[in-house]
Amino acid sequence: MKQQVPVVLNYSNTVTQQRVADAINYLGASPIMSRERLAVKDFMTLAQSTVFNLGTTRESEVPLFIETGQMANQLAKPVILDPVAVNVPYQGHLAQTIMEKVKVALIRGNAAEIGWFAGAEVSSRGIDALGASSVMVAKQAALKTGAIIVQSGKVDIITDGERVAYVNYDNPLLAVNVGAGDVLSGLLGATLGTDADAFEAAVAATAALGWAGQQASQRYAKAPSFYMDATLDALYTIKDQDLETKEVVWHA
């Protein structure tokens, strides 16, 4: 990724826009943060991937998402969807409307959000998943949507419906920080923007954030604001061998 420096076009959650842009840049990619419809063609020519975050999306912006997504599909560039609170009816309407017109390569969400795509009932409160992570639900969501699923939680699950990988760092302060999931979605846009296998790229991004969070927890286990900055700092220093750890488990 650092050799190719992919450009990631982000229709980001406005709450976390700066943090997501920084994370992508620190990892070695290049972010574009835009919501201008007149710039879609120009930015899609530059970008290698697109990330849609529905956290602060308005109904009036859905045509922009669809136009961008369809252009990305035509150019064979992956679309990553972060379906914030999709199990809330209005948010579900947004996601469904977009996915009816756009082929999504990867969906990143918590257990409740991924459960929605699988048609499973998973308890949730707001954006936080309360139900236990389930690999079967994640696999079902992948098979129903045709997308790679990255299910964030105490143990992250990555699956394409057949292959499964687990990232088991359990960084509780990532859950405390609003927007840590948005950061992961941005990092997924960065790694999927390379010419690597998409599933392996998804595992790499998830492992990178997990590893960075672990490094930060060694310094700021009880200081959540300093912790997140330290996590971003760790992303800047990450090397290939840092991803080859016992916390990342692959299954065929």
Angle, helices 111-118/135-145, rounded to nearest 10 degrees: 50
Whole-angstrom Cα distance, residue 106 to residue 157?
13
CA distances from 156 to 62, 135, 162, 210 (A): 29, 10, 16, 9
- Which residues of 20-59 form beta strands (DSSP E)? 30-33, 49-53
* Whether pLDDT at 122 is above 90: no
Domains detected in the chain: 7-251 (3.40.1190.20)
Provide the annotated binding site: 33, 108, 152, 179
Provide the annotated binding site for ATP: 108, 152
Over the stretch 189-224, which tens digit does the pLDDT of each residue have? 999 999 999 999 999 999 999 999 999 999 999 999
* Whether pLDDT at 139 is above 80: yes
Over the stretch 60-104, which tens digit does the pLDDT of each residue have? 999 999 999 999 999 999 999 999 999 999 999 999 999 999 999
User: Mean of the per-residue pLDDT values for the chain?
Assistant: 92
Provide the annotated binding site for substrate: 33, 179
Share of the chain above pLDDT 70, in %: 94
Average pLDDT, integer, range 159-164 = 95
